[in-house]
Amino acid sequence: MRTTTFTRAAVAAATGLILLPAAGTPAAAESGPRGVELTFLGRHATGTVAAGASEITAYDAKTRRVFVVNAQAGTVDVLDIRDPRKPRKVATLATPGANSVAVRDGLVAVAQQAAVKTDPGTVAFFDARSGKRLRQVTVGALPDMVTFTPDGHRVVVANEGEPSSYCEGEKVDPEGSVSVVDLKRWTVRTAGFQRFDAERLRGDGVRITGPGATAAQDLEPEYVTVDGDTAYVTLQENNALAIVDLKRVEVRDVVPLGLKDWSKSGFDASDRDGRIDIRPRPVRGLYQPDGIAHFRDRGRTYLVTANEGDGRDWGCHADEVRVKSLNLAMPDAENLKKDGELGRLNVAVDSPRDANGAYTELHAFGARSISIRSASGELVWDSGDELERLVAKELPEAFNADNEANDSFDSRSDNKGPEPEGVTVGEVRGRTYAFAGLERIGGVVAYDIDDPRAPSLAGYVNTRDLAGSVADGTAGDVGPEGVLFIPASDSPTRHALLVVGNEISGTTAIYEVR
């Protein structure tokens, strides 16, 4: 177990991070207004490893209960956290195909994919106290995320609409969409992407890569955050953001998120060099965020994204390829193709090519970072290479390790690195912070985002046990998926909490934030 607190000075220039003593020590108490202490309190373990037994979490303040998607069991597990040091499982909700859960004013909403994932899915509603199933509505294919609007009157659902395959005779490719459930009338309206043209979107910089797919089929809503009557939806594989008008229930815009220039910061590109090697590279990164959250500053809305990255690998189609197998029309091409350089790096097969089919640019999956964007999708700030440098300083023996085994140093350097996935925001002592889970190495990183244009690293907690065995379930908390912030006003300890669902270890971990 490791807990580290950082001050504003922790953001170093060329050499990485200045690490302070662990939270709870006298020096940590001097961290100042920008640092937070992230202290492990307790966990609930399902006993099931590497099967998605603890994923997305939601919290009901009245009952002091946490609702956890257990995809392996097809349930939502209900945990009593009146004593967060000893969370207790008190009930389960039968939710076959559950992907996401949200709670508002005693009402639990669960997004459930159909038995055949390309068929329309459902959202089931339960009473938070009794667990009684109240109602169920039909939404789009593969509902992957569900959330309530701030007024509690509607539920918004991201229907990912993944294909079954691209093989001839097997292909079923439903359209991605965003459903809005009116909780007063119990009606469902769905915003689709039919009016968008695939070629025009490609010209704008949106990735449309599915063979023979229309824009509506190719766009895959992943995660939603709602500000008033506007929903902001990540389209991860497409490296884009959908902006949805919830009053009209229509997609207002699809915004390309652009490319990160890795020659201006750096990353480790090889899993075969046996060392930590973070440096600038002639590569561009597809941001491809998974989780998204929002906050307001001086009357403006800002979006926070966790830029995980994701490629497609369906039957008869894959869009990831290693650099060493490509014909490069780039300076120093043969050297770049060496394993210790870029040869092992997975990049997008649709990266730009010249008239002869040789690659002129390399686009890697994910930006290995946290970003802040304006409400129109423009990049305001990005954490650069700070996450990899953080892990290199804090856990050098497990740098870019995988989440399926502890003895896996550097094994993810060729493929998205630490993979920031879930993100949430919250207020602590009057300042706004973003908290993001690092899916591969594990742990949660905190950023002070009170100034959206100049965030600072504020803390990192990692309760993975590198001396244990992931396969045997003795490695602590591994593979954070959902990250939930509970404000102090709703917390049983009267201090802010983070609740993290860890899909690989099958554990739900609770941390106090001070």
Q: How confident is the model at residue 437 (pLDDT cuts 50, 70, 90)?
A: very high
Q: What pLDDT is stored for residue 304 in this prediction?
A: 99
Q: Provide the domain count of the chain.
A: 1
Tens digits of residue pLDDT in 465-487: 999 999 999 999 999 999 999 99
- Indicate whether 462 pLDDT > 50: yes
DSSP label at residue 182:
E
Q: Which domain holds residue 127?
A: 2-513
Q: What pLDDT is stored for residue 493 in this prediction?
A: 97
For the residues 209-213, what does the mean pLDDT come to?
A: 95
Q: How many CA atoms lie within 13 A of 267 on its CB side?
A: 32
CATH number at 249 reads 2.130.10.10
For the residues 412-418, what does the mean pLDDT come to?
A: 98
**Which candidate, 473, 482, 474, places its Cα nearest to that of 503?**
482
Find out whether 154 and 182 touch, Cβ atoms under 8 Å.
yes
Torsions phi, psi for 101 (to 5 deg): -140, 145
- Indicate whether 11 pLDDT > 60: no
What value does the mean pLDDT of the chain take?
93
Q: What pLDDT is stored for residue 76 in this prediction?
A: 98
Torsions phi, psi for 387 (to 5 deg): -70, -45
Q: What pLDDT is stored for residue 13 in this prediction?
A: 31
Tens digits of residue pLDDT in 30-71: 333 469 999 999 999 999 999 999 999 999 999 999 999 999
- Indicate whether 2 pLDDT > 90: no
Tens digits of residue pLDDT in 223-253: 999 999 999 999 999 999 999 999 999 999 9
- Indicate whether 14 pLDDT > 60: no
Q: What pLDDT is stored for residue 350 in this prediction?
A: 97
For the residues 339-366, what does the mean pLDDT come to?
A: 98
With pLDDT > 70 as the criterion, what percentage of the chain qualifies?
93
Q: What pLDDT is stored for residue 17 in this prediction?
A: 31
- Indicate whether 28 pLDDT > 70: no
- Indicate whether 431 pLDDT > 50: yes
Q: What pLDDT is stored for residue 47 in this prediction?
A: 97
For the residues 246-274, what does the mean pLDDT come to?
A: 97
Q: How confident is the model at residue 511 (pLDDT cuts 50, 70, 90)?
A: very high
Find out whether 59 and 484 touch, Cβ atoms under 8 Å.
yes
Q: If DSSP codes are grouped into helix, strand and coil, which group holds residue 183?
A: coil
Task: Residue count of the chain, please give it.
Answer: 514
Q: If DSSP codes are grouped into helix, strand and coil, which group holds residue 470?
A: coil
Q: What pLDDT is stored for residue 362 in this prediction?
A: 98
Q: What pLDDT is stored for residue 33 in this prediction?
A: 43
For the residues 9-14, what does the mean pLDDT come to?
A: 32
Find out whether 12 and 6 touch, Cβ atoms under 8 Å.
no
Q: What pLDDT is stored for residue 185 in this prediction?
A: 97
Q: If DSSP codes are grouped into helix, strand and coil, which group holds residue 108?
A: strand
Tens digits of residue pLDDT in 282-315: 999 999 999 999 999 999 999 999 999 999 999 9
Q: What pLDDT is stored for residue 367 in this prediction?
A: 98
Q: How confident is the model at residue 113 (pLDDT cuts 50, 70, 90)?
A: very high
Q: How confident is the model at residue 322 (pLDDT cuts 50, 70, 90)?
A: very high
DSSP string for residues in 130-164: T--EEEEEEEEESEEEEEE-TTSSEEEEEE----S
**Which candidate, 438, 159, 456, places its Cα nearest to that of 308?**
438
Tens digits of residue pLDDT in 213-226: 999 999 999 999 99
Q: How many CA atoms lie within 13 A of 222 on its CB side?
A: 24
Find out whether 143 and 100 touch, Cβ atoms under 8 Å.
yes
Q: How confident is the model at residue 5 (pLDDT cuts 50, 70, 90)?
A: very low
Q: What pLDDT is stored for residue 31 in this prediction?
A: 36
